[in-house]
Amino acid sequence: MANKKPNKKTKSFEFKGYANINVPDSLSNAIEKHIKDAQAVYEEVNTLARDGYSLKVYYDSAQENYRASITCMNAEDDNFGYVLSSYAGDWYTALAVLTFKHFDVAKETWLEYTAEQTKGWG
């Protein structure tokens, strides 16, 4: 069997850090609407998986909430090596907040995101 050269998408993963993205107060109404749209959240999770993101959801007993995170595994993506996370009282809301942060707040480019003041959504 011939040795295959790794392509850019299979480049060795290197953890680079966490993206610190919060939902600004100005988007409170939009995120509440987003959380109620299960079909949109489903489609966004599908897109993340297809685009090379790894998804993790778990219960954090110390904080008594659910955590969701995505890690960019696609070496061709600007987010490669970074992790974005969220938390909420239930797994679905944690996931919906996470997709909202990625698609609606940061516009899929975490490192270019400029934070606004926020107080509500994890």
Q: Decide if 20 contacts 115 (C-beta within 8 A).
A: yes
Instruction: Determine the Cα–Cα distance for residues 111 and 1; give it in Å rounded to an integer.
Output: 40
**pTM reported for the whole predicted model:** 0.84
What local confidence, expressed as pLDDT, does residue 111 receive? 87
- Where do the domains of the chain lie? 14-109
Joined together, the tokens standing for residue 87 give 């938390």
Q: What percent of the chain has pLDDT over 90?
A: 75
Average pLDDT, integer, range 4-25? 77
Tens of pLDDT, residues 30-55: 999 999 999 999 999 999 999 999 99
pLDDT tier, 6 (very low <50, low <70, confident <90, very high otherwise):
very low
> Any idea which architecture 14-109 has in CATH?
2-Layer Sandwich (3.30)
**H-run or E-run covering 39:** helix 38-50
